[in-house]
Amino acid sequence: MTLYGIPPAGMRRAMAPESGRDHAHAIADAAHAWWTSNRGGSSDRAIAVGTLAGLALSAPSRPEGPDYGPLLLPLNDEQLIDALRAGWNSFWTYDPDLTEAARPLHDWLSHPTETDIRGLSDYARVLVRAGLLEYCSDTARAESDDVLGLLITRMRSYSERQSTGEFFTPAVAADHMGDILFSTDRRPGDLFLEAAAGTGTMARAAAATLRFFGNDPAKYRWWLNDLDPLNSACCAVSAQLWRLGRHVTVSCGDALNDPRLLEEAVRERAERATAEQQTRPVLYPTRTRPPFWPWQSVPPS
Ligand SMILES: C[S@@+](CC[C@H](N)C(=O)[O-])C[C@H]1O[C@@H](n2cnc3c(N)ncnc32)[C@H](O)[C@@H]1O
C-alpha cells in the first residue's frame, strides 16, 4: 500500500540500495535532479541543502522508527516550512551552539519569500521517497558517506569549486585516512581537529573507524573548521547525523591566518547561544502546528 506513491518505512528500508554509500548518492542525485528541473539550476542552494538538513535532523534516532513519512507526506509548502522550523527548534533546544553554527542552512526560514517556499513540500516528498529518513536513522548508513557534502558538490559548478579548492575527499579515500588515523593508539578525550574540513567527511571516516574498533566517537573531542559558511554549517548538522557526541566545536573562518581568533569567536558564540536559548526557547515561531511538532523537545541523540 502506498500513500502519495510512497511505501511505508519498512518497505522503503527494504527497497533502499544495499550499500549505504549508494543510498547517499541516490538521495543526493534525487535532490539535485528535482532542484535543477523545478527551481532552475543551482540557485538557492542554502534552501536546497537546508531543507535536506532539516529533514535529516528530524529523522528518528533508531532504524525501527517511528515512521515520520506519513506525517510529512500530506503537508503543503506552508506546512512543510513549519515542520522544518519545528525541527530546528528541537535542535536549538538540544544544542544552541551547533544550531548557531548551522545558521546558513536555516536562516532563510525566518522570513521566506513565496519564491523560497515554492514546491518545497514536493521536494520533501522526493527526499522521503529516496529514503532520507531511513538513511539518517541508521548510524551505519548515515556514517557511510557525507550526504550533505554530496549535494553541495552537485550544486557547485566545477569552476566555482576550482576557485576555492573545494574538492571533497571521496568517501572511499577518506575511509582509508580514517583507518590510518584511528586504528593506532587513540584515547578518549583526544581531539580530532580539521582546519579545512569542507563538509566534514574526514571526521565521518574517523568516527566510523572508531566505531568499527568498538570505540564511541562521543568520547572524543572534535573541532571542524572551514572558510566557507555553508560547508561549516553542514559540519554542524552532520556532527549530529554521525553521532559525534556533545564535545563538538564547529567554526567558520580562515585557519591559515590566525587560528586563535577562531577559538575566541567560537567561545563567544557558544556563550551567546546558550544565554539566548534560555530567554528564547523557540527559535522559529510556527503558524500551522506546535513549535516542536512532531518531535518532542529534544532531537535524536
Ligand atoms: C580540498 S577541500 C578538502 C575538504 C576536506 N578536508 C576533505 O577532505 O573533503 C579544501 C577545503 O578547505 C577550505 N579552505 C580553503 N582555504 C581555507 C582557509 N584559509 N581556512 C579554512 N578553510 C579553508 C575550502 O573551503 C575547502 O572546503
Kindly give the confidence (pLDDT) of every residue in the chain, 301 residues in length, as a single tens digit, with 9 standing for 90 and above.
455 667 777 777 778 888 999 999 999 999 999 999 998 766 699 999 999 999 999 998 888 878 888 889 899 999 999 999 999 999 999 999 999 999 999 999 999 999 999 999 999 999 999 999 999 999 999 999 999 999 999 998 877 777 777 788 888 788 777 776 666 677 889 999 999 999 999 999 999 999 988 899 999 999 999 999 999 999 999 999 999 999 999 999 999 887 788 899 999 999 999 999 999 999 999 998 888 877 654 444 4
Candidates 158, 161, 168, 177: which one to mutate for ligand 1, based on the most atoms within 8 Å of Cβ?
Answer: 168
Helix (H, G, I), strand (E, B) or coil at 167: coil
Q: Which residue has the cell 543510498?
A: 23
Candidates 168, 226, 256: which one to mutate for ligand 1, based on the most atoms within 8 Å of Cβ?
Answer: 226
Question: Residue 251: phi, psi to the nearest 5?
Answer: -135, 165
Q: If you take atom 8 of ligand 1, which residue's CA is the nearest one?
A: 169
Cell of 300: 535524536
Output the CA 130–ligand 1 centroid distance in Å: 29
- Whose CA is closest to 40, among 114, 119, 106? 119
Give the ligand 1 atom nearest the CA of 257: 19
Supply the pLDDT for residue 4.
63
Task: Please check whether residue 232 is in contact with residue 257, taking contact to mean a CB–CB distance below 8 angstroms.
Answer: no
Output the CA 279–ligand 1 centroid distance in Å: 35
Output the CA 117–ligand 1 centroid distance in Å: 31
Q: If you take atom 27 of ligand 1, which residue's CA is the nearest one?
A: 198
Give the ligand 1 atom nearest the CA of 231: 27
Supply the pLDDT for residue 298.
47
Strands (E), the chain: 191-194, 221-226, 248-252
Length of the chain: 301
Output the CA 194–ligand 1 centroid distance in Å: 9
Task: Please check whether residue 228 is in contact with residue 177, taking contact to mean a CB–CB distance below 8 angstroms.
Answer: no
Task: Provide the residue type at 51 as one letter.
Answer: T
For residue 264, the tally of other CB atoms under 10 A from its CB is: 10
Pairing status of strand 191-194 against strand 248-252: unpaired
Supply the pLDDT for residue 49.
98
pTM for the complete prediction?
A: 0.93
The Cα 24–Cα 142 span in angstroms is 8
Supply the pLDDT for residue 177.
73
Candidates 161, 227, 228, 235: which one to mutate for ligand 1, based on the most atoms within 8 Å of Cβ?
Answer: 227
**61 CB burial (10 A radius; 0-12, 13-18, 19+):** middle
The Cα 11–Cα 127 span in angstroms is 15
Q: If you take atom 24 of ligand 1, which residue's CA is the nearest one?
A: 166
Supply the pLDDT for residue 140.
94
Q: If you take atom 3 of ligand 1, which residue's CA is the nearest one?
A: 168
Half-sphere exposure of 205 (CA within 13 A, CB side): 22
Ligand 1 interacting residues, C-beta cut-off 6 A: 164-169, 194-198, 201-202, 225-228, 231, 254-256
Residues 6+ apart with CB under 8 A from 254: 227
